[in-house]
Chain A
Amino acid sequence: NAGVTQTPKFRILKIGQSMTLQCTQDMNHNYMYWYRQDPGMGLKLIYYSVGAGITDKGEVPNGYNVSRSTTEDFPLRLELAAPSQTSVYFCASSYGRGPNLAKNIQYFGAGTRLSVL
């Protein structure tokens, strides 16, 4: 049972380069999220999606783009990489809203460590 899978695990980018962080889940979850985690700063929500074709900004969306063409995939795009985007990126998914709190549990991938030099 794969859960939430993120690729790549590590990446080094030069300033100005672009890349796509991949995220896929096999739990048939409706909701998907992208977070970044910086030392001493906790997890910050970048973008989230409540279903295919629907995305919305989180707390720190600048410099990123997302799309959700299928239920399973939620890629995160960095167009012009900057040193401030050096971070660990986590993708998460949850079933979505419902009367049962357990349906709202967010399951996380293992993360992508990105350095922009």
Chain B
Amino acid sequence: QKEVEQDPGPLSVPEGAIVSLNCTYSNSAFQYFMWYRQYSRKGPELLMYTYSSGNKEDGRFTAQVDKSSKYISLFIRDSQPSDSATYLCAMSANFGNEKLTFGTGTRLTIIP
């Protein structure tokens, strides 16, 4: 069993829809959770990060962490074609997060 599981997709939704992206994990020591966005042929860029359980909102993006279920989610509201990318979850047990464990990524396409 992988330490972090992420549905690879691909996922296609119409513009304006709400998108839900998810990761599950097995290591209960993880307490720092991140979502990266990666456009085609580019490096990942940090979208959001959260600590422990709870919700965090930033514009159209909401990150949720449920440590009891070992489950994290990223919601995208009013999705735009510019949101088309691969989304990677990442997590770490250490505050310095020098050893991130990544999910495999979900490829998302927003259809105009």
Does chain B have a CB within 8 A of A78?
Answer: no
Are B104 and A108 interface neighbours, CB within 8 A?
A: no
Cβ of A41: which chain B residues have Cβ within 8 Å of it?
104
> In whole Å, how far is A49's beta carbon from the nearest beta carbon of chain B?
9
Does chain B have a CB within 8 A of A75?
Answer: no
B99's partner among A58, A101, A108 (CB-CB below 8 A) is A58
Are A43 and B96 interface neighbours, CB within 8 A?
A: no
- Asked, given contacts A41-B104, A105-B49, whether A48 binds B98 with beta carbons under 8 Å apart, the answer is yes
- Asked, given contacts A40-B104, A42-B88, whether A106 binds B99 with beta carbons under 8 Å apart, the answer is no
- Asked, given contacts A42-B104, A43-B88, A101-B51, whether A108 binds B98 with beta carbons under 8 Å apart, the answer is no
Contact size range, B: 20 to 34
Cβ of A58: which chain B residues have Cβ within 8 Å of it?
99
Contact size range, A: 20 to 34
Are A101 and B49 interface neighbours, CB within 8 A?
A: yes
Are B88 and A106 interface neighbours, CB within 8 A?
A: no
Cβ of B104: which chain A residues have Cβ within 8 Å of it?
40-42
Are B99 and A45 interface neighbours, CB within 8 A?
A: yes
- Asked, given contacts A101-B51, A108-B44, whether A40 binds B8 with beta carbons under 8 Å apart, the answer is yes
Q: 5 closest A-B pairs (Cβ-Cβ)? A: A108-B43, A97-B96, A42-B102, A43-B102, A42-B104
Which A residues fall within an 8 A CB radius of B?
A: 4, 31, 33, 40-45, 48, 50, 58-59, 90, 92, 94, 96-97, 101, 104-111
